[in-house]
């Protein structure tokens, strides 16, 4: 399966108490203008969800209150209940069939899907267009390629 990490992401671990500082997070956000997602992981690096950066913006600016809410949710281990409307939780594994991945990504609000390893470690993100292109390539190859 084609997997690209073309999206810029910043990782955060659940249940790290007094580890993250909202002002430092805000500095990162302001210095990484192409950042699209927060990766939320467990302490063993297994994938929990992607959280779009837009979920902590308000009127185009990073909202300190929302950043604090995110950090508190990380510390308490409850990012999903706090950000369930924004979080991207459905993922696919590298060994999933392309058709099953396409079905999942089409149900996604953002038309993208995190791809995880057999150990549930985030490998990258696949978009609906990438998956459709890969399916088309496999069908063409199966029916004679360049004919």
What residue spans define the domains of the chain? 8-142
Q: How far apart are CA 62 and CA 29, in angstroms?
A: 8
pLDDT of residue 9: 84
For 15-36, what is the mean pLDDT?
92
Whether 75 and 37 have beta carbons less than 8 Å apart is answered as no
For 21-38, what is the mean pLDDT?
91
pLDDT tens track for 57-74: 888 889 999 999 999 999
pLDDT at 2 over 60: no
CA-based max dimension of the chain: 62
pLDDT of residue 147: 52
Which of 52, 40, 37, 47 is CA-nearest to residue 16? Answer: 40
> What is the token pair recorded at 133?
């292109």
What's the predicted TM-score (pTM) here?
Answer: 0.84
pLDDT of residue 145: 64
For 107-114, what is the mean pLDDT?
87
Classify 8-142 by CATH class: alpha beta
For 114-118, what is the mean pLDDT?
94
């Amino acid at each position: 399966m084609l997997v690209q990490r073309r999206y810029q992401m910043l990782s955060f671990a659940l249940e790290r108490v007094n580890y993250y500082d909202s002002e430092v997070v805000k500095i990162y956000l302001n210095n990484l203008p192409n950042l699209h997602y927060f990766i939320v992981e467990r302490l063993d690096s297994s994938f929990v969800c992607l959280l779009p950066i837009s979920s902590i913006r308000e009127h185009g600016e990073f909202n300190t209150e929302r950043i604090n809410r995110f950090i508190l949710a990380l510390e308490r281990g409850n990012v999903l209940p706090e950000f369930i409307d924004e979080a991207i939780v459905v993922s696919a594994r590298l060994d999933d069939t392309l058709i099953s991945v396409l079905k999942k990504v089409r149900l996604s609000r953002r038309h993208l899907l995190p791809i995880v390893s057999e150990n549930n470690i985030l490998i990258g993100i696949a978009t609906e267009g990438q998956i459709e292109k890969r399916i088309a390539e496999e069908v063409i190859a199966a029916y004679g390629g360049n004919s």
